[in-house]
Chains A and B, each alone.
Chain A
């Protein structure tokens, strides 16, 4: 097992959620790799520190005040305004977009070995395509020709019309 795979399963290993076979493979790797062994030790310490955090509570009277305030608020006839709903929706979509961008970034960082050559290849294809397509009718060429010529080399005999006097031409 390689370091990358071990680190991907680090959390599950530390929490004892890996099955016996996977756990044994991780342990075999840890015996050979000092850096991963150090990562596991540090991860255990962090998990331990976080698990030791005590839960906080508020005094009973403060909870009672809050409960009363919530009930007062929801009993009032005013409901969330349309503006509020729209603003909530925008915030959620902004969050989703930023998550997606971050997801792509994390994937690129995590799988740099694969992602970088793939990106380079895509870039090469785009640049190559632009270069090769240079002399063969680019945008300027298209703009100069009538619209129909983009789709067919032959000039149309006559523009078809729904109101043509000789409908037999369109039966075929």
Chain B
């Protein structure tokens, strides 16, 4: 179904249309929440909260920006609210990026899968060490593949600010993941 029609039907209160919208965007929202909040036990609750907010705010969505941009904005805002409400849970002064273990980078099979898992853990830990707004910019750009202009619309800030957050965010990641990058992964 065409997205505009789907949204119009959702606004009119069509549950079937909402189910379709939810299925279309559940993965996008879930992955952004996971990367911004980390493997948090509340991640699924946050996804639920995002979609409840979407249903309630949809009548106010005027269609000036793309629906996915609006949805990213809702998602990021709710994640940032969560971080602000319990800053001590998520902000640690000492970053616990796991060390690189002596695993062969070239092997395939279970060992390679284990290593991939480790890399992902290290990257996630490093992401969590970034200031939340820098983290959001990096996640949206380097993982979700949004352009700087799109991120500026999502975060409601100038493009220069997005650029600066990306630059500083990546710089910090580089320092934290030095060990992994030197291994040539």
Instruction: Please state if B157 and A56 are interface contacts (CB–CB under 8 Å).
Output: no
Instruction: Please state if B143 and A53 are interface contacts (CB–CB under 8 Å).
Output: yes
Interface string of B53-80 (1 = CB under 8 A from A): 0011000000000000000000001001
Instruction: Please state if A73 and B52 are interface contacts (CB–CB under 8 Å).
Output: yes
**A53-B120, A67-B22, A70-B22 known; A91-B164 Cβ under 8 A:** no
A165 interfacial contact with B, CB 8 Å:
no
Of A8, A49, A69, the most chain B CB neighbours within 10 A belong to A49
Instruction: Please state if A47 and B170 are interface contacts (CB–CB under 8 Å).
Output: yes
- Complex: A58 Cα to B15 Cα, angstroms: 22
Q: Which residues of A contact B170 (CB under 8 A)?
A: 11, 43, 46-47
Q: How large is the interface on A (under 10, 10 to 19, 20 to 34, 35 or more residues)?
A: 35 or more
Interface string of A39-62 (1 = CB under 8 A from B): 000110111011111111110001
Instruction: Please state if B119 and A49 are interface contacts (CB–CB under 8 Å).
Output: yes
Q: Which residues of A contact B51 (CB under 8 A)?
A: 66, 70
The majority secondary structure among interface residues of chain B is: helix
A18 interfacial contact with B, CB 8 Å:
no
Instruction: Please state if A63 and B174 are interface contacts (CB–CB under 8 Å).
Output: no
Instruction: Please state if B174 and A45 are interface contacts (CB–CB under 8 Å).
Output: yes
Instruction: Please state if B56 and A110 are interface contacts (CB–CB under 8 Å).
Output: no
Instruction: Write the nearest CB–CB distance from B23 to chain A, whole angstroms.
Output: 8
B37 interfacial contact with A, CB 8 Å:
no
Question: Could you say which of A50, A69, A80 contacts B123, with CB atoms under 8 Å apart?
Answer: A50
Which of B1-9, B86-94, B104-112, B177-185 sits within the interface?
Answer: B177-185
Q: Tell me which residues from 135 to 174 in chain B have a Cβ below 8 Å from any Cβ of chain A.
A: 138, 142-143, 148, 156-158, 161, 163-164, 166-168, 170, 173-174
**Chain B residue nearest to A49 in the complex (CB):** B123
14 more contacts with CB within 8 A, not counting A43-B174, A96-B156, are A11-B163, A45-B174, A46-B173, A49-B123, A53-B123, A55-B31, A63-B26, A69-B48, A70-B52, A80-B56, A88-B81, A92-B77, A99-B133, A102-B133
Give the B-binding residues of A (Cβ under 8 A): 7-8, 10-11, 42-43, 45-47, 49-58, 62-63, 66-67, 69-71, 73-74, 79-80, 88, 91-92, 94-96, 99, 102-103, 106, 110
